[in-house]
Amino acid sequence: MQLIRSIQRHETLVKTWRLLHSCVVSVLLRLNADHVRRLLLHGVIGVSIYGVFAFMLGGMYRYPWELVGVVMRLNYVTVRTVAGYVARGCKPLYPEWTLAFELLRAWMRCIMSVYGDRLVLPKNAQFLRWQSDWIGTREGRDACRLHGTTMETFEHNNLEHIWVRGRVLNPSKTTRPRRLVVLYFHGGGFAVLSPRMYVRYANEILAKINDKLAREHVHSPVQVDFLMGNYRKIPEHPYPIPPQDAYCVYEYLIHHEKLDPSQIIVAGDSAGGALAITTLLRIRDRHMEPPLAGLVSCPFVDMTVKGNELETPHCIIGDKAIHAVIKSYHSFEGDPATWGDVSPVHCNLRGLPPVYIQAAELDYILPHSLNLYAKAKADGLDHWVLDVHKNLPHVYTTTPSWILPAVHQGFDALATFAAGRFAESMRNAPCA
């Protein structure tokens, strides 16, 4: 009996399939060639539009059909933001902003608040790294052509790192230029982005450093380069691997490039800012000569402060993103003093070189910068500088200047500090 029922079910499925096949063929036969071409064109357009959104938002959803929900949310945010702009008499929310930046910030905040926890899912994180590589390569080439620099890649510690080679100032046929290097670690919540994404950013700061060195009346030959250091990322590689990789890049400069610490500034933004500080701590703890200075922008350095997006409504970061990153980076249990350098605010900072902290008033993690500066002061580091930029959110300097012209004030501040330290180094060691 079971065999008979099975055969009957099979025959029913076959009949259903044949009926469906006949209906499709019947419809197609009634269509003329123009209708078929039109259907194919609409299909190609639909697939192309889906592909564009999938590329732009690929790190924000788990399954393909979720993309529709992401796009709908962003459409709502767009309408709400533009309506607010019009209601204010076509004025941006803050004088430093533009409508383009207001839209970009609103989109990023929506993504970070609703889908931020997906940044630390392996497939999502890997896609966002690939995406930033792809975009950064194209942006970086254009930036290098514009500024007359070159981009060189090399492998160290099984990771790709990138040199942005600046032009030689005051070239001489008889004297080799003194090399000065900004070792830079990019942000991205210890999880996403890549050094290539920061080549444009490096070019912007490098150009301003060169201009300011000229104003410092530096007459001897000098070449300033950026080294965009890479590191392994969460969720695959939690603490202590990222700071180990960061320190390894610094060692490369000392042992392979044969640079003196007085030729190096260690820098970074957000999570990269944390890696810059941990690198300085590890240099000190190994009783090595400290580098010339540190340079950090909106550093992610206090793992006891998780923040609240309701208190910072105009930042790009949301609760889900921060909470997911902290949970994935390290198991924060017990006394912060036992965590090592995973939370630099809770470390002894004595003996570190001068550090410039660039903070943003609207930043979700502004308390991190404030607490780091307060800890430095408590540890007797009077040569540290805190610079809070008004009406601007987290790492605003990474925004293209055509979207947010105010980034130039951030670049100027970063370059002024770096050029001042480099000029002092050259005066102290003119023949190095």
Give me the active site residues, please.
270
Q: CB-based contacts of 240: which residues, under 8 Å, 6+ apart?
A: 340, 342
Token look-up 């910072």 returns 312
Grouping H, G, I as helix, E, B as strand and the rest as coil, residue 188 is: coil
Residue 223, beta-bridge partner list = 168, 179
Token look-up 């010339």 returns 292
Q: CB-based contacts of 191: which residues, under 8 Å, 6+ apart?
A: 119, 120, 125, 128, 233, 234, 235, 325, 328
How many other CB atoms are found less than 10 A from the CB of residue 99?
Answer: 16
Burial of 386 (0-12, 13-18, 19+ CB in 10 A): middle
Q: Residue 104's closest CA among 137, 72, 131, 82?
A: 82
The rounded distance, in Å, linking the Cα atoms of 187 and 398 is 10
**What Rg do the C-alpha atoms of the chain give, in angstroms?**
26
For 360, the enclosing helix (H) or strand (E) is strand 355-360
Helices 33-57 + 66-87 axis angle, to 10: 80
Tally of helices (H runs) and strands (E runs) in the chain: 11, 8
Cβ(59)–Cβ(128) under 8 Å? yes
